[in-house]
Amino acid sequence: MKRVIFNQKGGVGKSTIAVNLASIAAYKNRKTLLIDMDPQCNSSRYLLGDAALETTPTILEFFKSSLEFQFYPKPENTFIHPTRFENLAIMPSHPEICELQSKLESRHKIYKLRDALKTLSQEYDEIIIDTPSNYNFFTQSALIAADVCLIPFDCDDFARQALYTLMNNVGEVKADHNPSLQIEGIIVNQFQPRSKLPQRLVDELLEEGLPVLETKLSSSVKIRESHELNLPMIHMDARHKLSQEFVALFDELENAVGKQKRAA
């Protein structure tokens, strides 16, 4: 399964969700690859700590290599690095990746990631892609390469307005480049059940028929500690409420995939 985590609005927890879902997949003995395409490199730092700044080659070198004609191109796994967590590997990002965007666009390299993941999906059970907080070449590349898209949503009216634009963009990629792409679900993040506004917004999204996932992720200061320690929640405190919510989210997604396969 190739999943992309995408939202054009920043601060909705994309990297946190990407890393924790990947960590749980690996924890459940699924061979897992996390691809960080965000120039902020948050996922890379979350898993690798300070070593993320020195780890090479990265996604930057992957895309640079696509601009160079090579009779014998480097294998896709050249750009992948192990983490200290069993079954979990990463293709880290680099702050300078955005400098390549105009060259990649002009040379029509939008399908290079898709082609690489066709090969890598034979080696990995799960591939999760973290994306920038805008709709650009790298986000489109990820959507073209993925099977499904997960949309983090924080319960905010501005986030709701951005959600409609986002879904239109995903629909455009589906229509033009990747007809099998599906929106797997909307992940409600930083949910506060005692507050009326978040529940009202979720209810309204459900009334509109949008695919809001049943599992919601709580707001917790524990996640900041997880970031600082470079420890995904399942490894820092598996019994914590938020850890259990991430596990429940992963299980919900897997159960849905299982139902689809049985129906087919």
Average pLDDT, the chain: 93
Confidence at 263, pLDDT banded by 50, 70, 90 = confident
Query: For residue 118, what are its two tokens?
Result: 């066709």
Tens digit of each residue's pLDDT (9 = 90 or more) over 151-207: 999 877 677 778 889 999 999 999 999 999 999 999 999 888 777 778 888 898 999
The rounded distance, in Å, linking the Cα atoms of 151 and 12 is 9
The total domain count for the chain is: 1
Give the list of residues 6+ apart from residue 84 with CB closer than 8 angstroms, or none: none
Q: Is the pLDDT of residue 259 over 80?
A: no
The rounded distance, in Å, linking the Cα atoms of 1 and 127 is 6
Print the domain residue range for 106: 2-263
Tens digit of each residue's pLDDT (9 = 90 or more) over 33-67: 999 999 999 999 999 999 998 999 999 999 999 99
CATH of the domain at 222: 3.40.50.300
The per-residue pLDDT for 93 is 98
User: Phi and psi at residue 237, in whole multiples of 5°?
Assistant: -160, 90
The rounded distance, in Å, linking the Cα atoms of 153 and 199 is 13
**Averaged pLDDT, 114-134:** 96
Confidence at 264, pLDDT banded by 50, 70, 90 = low
Percent share of the chain, pLDDT over 90:
81
Confidence at 74, pLDDT banded by 50, 70, 90 = confident
Q: Is the pLDDT of residue 95 over 80?
A: yes
Q: Is the pLDDT of residue 1 over 70?
A: yes
Query: For residue 132, what are its two tokens?
Result: 């920038």
Tens digit of each residue's pLDDT (9 = 90 or more) over 217-252: 998 999 999 999 999 999 999 999 999 999 999 999
The rounded distance, in Å, linking the Cα atoms of 209 and 219 is 25
The rounded distance, in Å, linking the Cα atoms of 238 and 62 is 34
Give the list of residues 6+ apart from residue 149 with CB closer than 8 angstroms, or none: 3, 4, 5, 6, 143, 170, 181, 182, 183, 184
CA 30 to each of CA 21, 24, 159, 226: distance values in angstroms, whole numbers, following the listed order: 11, 9, 32, 22
